[in-house]
Structure 1
Amino acid sequence: MKNTLEQLITKFDLKPHPEGGYYKETYRSSGTIAEANLPAAYDGERNYATSIYFLLMADNFSSFHRINQDEIWHFYDGSPLLLHIITPEGVYSEHLIGIDLSRGEVPQYVVPGGCWFAAEVIEPSGFSFIGCTVSPGFSFADFQLGKRSELINDFPKHADVIERLTRG
């Protein structure tokens, strides 16, 4: 039996995420990395790793954002997801996260830390249920939601995708 959107939100107690979609933290390591052992971009200590469930619907999108850490996306259920990435140097790429290998989908993908990235569900009226693992562990202090005008100014040749996958 295929899971429904409502079942996933209820079963996993998912809450709205600032970038779009729903999420719930499922893991935060008990061990931490001292600030002195982290690159300068980090303010304070971080857990070794964190993990969340993330649910995105076709009528929504995950807005362009970035974090300091690498983030591994894992596909679980639903529609494939299209992940859009812009490196700090302005190189754009897109990646299909899913399980149909014959269509070029991959079940997991690593977004390098410092890259801007956004995601959208491929199937109209579908949803994508995935997981995200971050190391060093995620902190909202490392999270930056992209501002449309600033991203277009920094990456004008990607204005179309930035316009479509940002909110104001």
Structure 2
Amino acid sequence: MNTRIEKIVQKLDMNPHPEGGFYKETYRSEGVIPQQILNEKFKGERNYCTAIYFLLTSDNFSAFHKINQDEIWHYYEGSSLFVHVIDLEGKYHRYSVGINLDEGELPQLVVPAGCWFASSVKKEDSYSLVGCTVSPGFDFDDFELGEKKDLVQQFPEYKDVITQYTRN
């Protein structure tokens, strides 16, 4: 890891994330949504909202996964980030999250609930520091890491991108 990445991980007290990269939860609302108000995808109550810092390096990637909530990505520092999304209709999109507006980048991106998504750093030998906000609040019970075999079977036309951004 380069010095800037090490400094960010240390200063923000980040830990390795199961999908790749590093994270630190920065916010979890005190208020909760009762189970009976949530849909059947949720087991138990959820906080109104959660937020994390997320750091990804160019020698790593965030593997395809999905969650039961919408996730809002916020760009902070470093290289722009690609977010690879297979939407609910089964169509693939590659978004660029960053501040190069003239190049079509977005400083924020919403990944809708239930979509498969992965992310990767746009520039080599770099990193991306972003934030992710989830509502209802994130719980690892809502997280599903994609398996290469299953995703390729479901979306054979995207075999190359799925293979590139899965680990199993």
AA paired with 1:128? S
Distance in 2 of aligned mates of 1:93 and 1:148: 18
In the alignment, what sits opposite 1:107? 107
Q: CA deviation at 1:52?
A: 0.2
In the alignment, what sits opposite 2:52? 52
In the alignment, what sits opposite 1:162? 162
Structure 1 alignment gaps of length 5 or more: none
Q: CA deviation at 1:34?
A: 0.2
CA displacement 1:17-71 (0-9 Å, x = unmatched): 0000000000000000000000110000000000000000000000000000000
Q: CA deviation at 1:89?
A: 2.5
Say whether residues 1:95 and 2:88 are aligned partners: no
Q: CA deviation at 1:84?
A: 0.4
Q: CA deviation at 1:165?
A: 0.3
Distance in 1 of aligned mates of 2:122 and 2:4: 17
AA paired with 1:58? S
Q: CA deviation at 1:88?
A: 3.0
In the alignment, what sits opposite 2:148? 148
CA displacement 1:62-119 (0-9 Å, x = unmatched): 0000000000000000000000000232111110000010111110000000000000
AA paired with 2:142? D
Distance in 2 of aligned mates of 1:153 and 1:125: 33
AA paired with 1:130? V
Aligned runs of 1:11-160 on 2, under 5 Å? 11-160=11-160
Q: CA deviation at 1:4?
A: 1.2
Secondary structure in structure 2 of the residue aligned to 1:4: helix
Structure 2 alignment gaps of length 5 or more: none
Structure 1 stretches of at least 4 aligned residues deviating more than 4 Å after TM superposition: none
Please report the TM-score for the alignment, with normalisation by the length of structure 1: 0.97
Instruction: Tell me how large the CA RMSD over aligned residues is.
Output: 0.8
AA paired with 1:52? I
AA paired with 1:151? L
Distance in 2 of aligned mates of 1:133 and 1:48: 11
Distance in 2 of aligned mates of 1:141 and 1:152: 24
Distance in 2 of aligned mates of 1:63 and 1:55: 14
Distance in 2 of aligned mates of 1:89 and 1:142: 20
Distance in 2 of aligned mates of 1:89 and 1:42: 22
AA paired with 1:131? G
AA paired with 1:163? T
